[in-house]
Amino acid sequence: MTKTVIQINAGNFTNVFLIRGHAGCALVDTGNPGKADHILERLAECGVAPGDIRLILITHGHVDHFGSAAELRERTGAPVAIHALDAEAVRQGKHLPESLKPTHWIVALAMRIPGITGPDCAPAFEPDIVFEEKWRLDEYGIAGQVLPTPGHTPGSVSVLLDSGEAIMGDVVMGDFLRLLRRPGPPIVAWDLEQNRESACRLLALSPRIVYVGHGGPFEDLSGLSKGCKEIM
Ligand SMILES: [Zn+2]
Ligand SMILES: [Zn+2]
């Protein structure tokens, strides 16, 4: 069976995703700056040419997710979409500082080490599609929807395909203390409580597999969805 979502390792423990719809392809997230060549090579291995990408969706305004968006837009010709509340990050080409609050004291300590959080700026650009509400991807040949899931950043979004696959950006993160093998809360967040609510709302829609920006994918979600209050 052809998989609808292909996870691509974009380096630095960061994933981006190819969605192969019934009548078109989309790229979800673009990794850190300088990753366009690597991503396009992985797409070619999947038989996908740059011109096959009809949409580039950015799950949120962190540099490790939009860093190569400007270059990939240029090379694919696809429009870049981001939620209005995170659009300023890509216009400035940097993280919005209020979205980088550590959620654990170990992270707070680690963030004092220069460079540990990776690049903090990327080529700035004006996004082509700026949205506020949930929307469907049918016009791009994909049966699924984009849902606002705020909390990690104000404008964080997730994708839920009709086939049951979800891409949740950094709403859920592979737990760094468990080598990314188990799902956990994000290590930084604008509003962790809102993030928890967003995660629970999406998991209540019963995705059968969850892809995330760091670690994953996670197929056994029973613990996560049943006990999401505790885990998140
Ligand atoms: Zn993030
Ligand atoms: Zn991230």
CA 170 to centroid of ligand 1, rounded, Å: 5
CA 147 to centroid of ligand 2, rounded, Å: 18
- CA atoms of 218 and 15, how far apart (whole Å): 13
Q: Which numbered ligand comes closest to the C-alpha of 215?
A: 2
* Predicted pLDDT at 182: 83
The DSSP code for 122 is: -
* Predicted pLDDT at 111: 80
Q: Of all helices (H) and strands (E), which one includes residue 38?
A: helix 36-45
Phi, psi of 5, rounded to the nearest 5 degrees: -110, 125
CA 229 to centroid of ligand 2, rounded, Å: 22
CA 1 to centroid of ligand 1, rounded, Å: 31
- Between helices 36-45 and 69-76, what is the axis angle to 10°? 50
Q: Which numbered ligand comes closest to the C-alpha of 152?
A: 1
* Predicted pLDDT at 12: 86
Kindly report the number of other CB atoms within 10 A of residue 222's CB atom.
8
List the domain boundaries for the chain. 5-118+125-231
Residues around ligand 2, an ion, CB closer than 5 A: 64, 170, 213
Q: Which amino acid is at 210?
A: V
CA 211 to centroid of ligand 2, rounded, Å: 12
DSSP E strand stretches across the chain: 5-9, 15-20, 25-28, 53-57, 80-83, 101-102, 129-131, 135-136, 144-148, 157-161, 165-167, 173-174, 183-184, 188-189, 209-211
pTM, entire model: 0.94
Over the chain (232 residues), the average pLDDT of each successive run of 10 is 87 95 96 98 97 98 98 98 98 91 84 78 97 98 98 98 97 77 88 93 92 92 62 48
CA 24 to centroid of ligand 2, rounded, Å: 26
CATH of range 5-118+125-231; options 3.40.50.620, 3.60.15.10, 3.30.460.90, 3.40.50.720 = 3.60.15.10
- CA atoms of 79 and 142, how far apart (whole Å): 15
| 228: Cα separation from own chain's centroid | 19
Q: Which residue has the tokens 């060549």?
A: 37
- CA atoms of 140 and 55, how far apart (whole Å): 7
* Predicted pLDDT at 221: 75
Q: Of all helices (H) and strands (E), which one includes residue 75?
A: helix 69-76
CA 141 to centroid of ligand 2, rounded, Å: 27
Kindly report the number of other CB atoms within 10 A of residue 153's CB atom.
30
The number of C-alpha atoms within 13 Å of 114 and in the hemisphere containing its C-beta is: 0
Quote the tokens at residue 25.
């392809």
66, 39 Cβ separation under 8 angstroms? no
CA 157 to centroid of ligand 1, rounded, Å: 11
* Predicted pLDDT at 223: 59
* Predicted pLDDT at 167: 98
* Predicted pLDDT at 119: 84
CA 40 to centroid of ligand 1, rounded, Å: 22
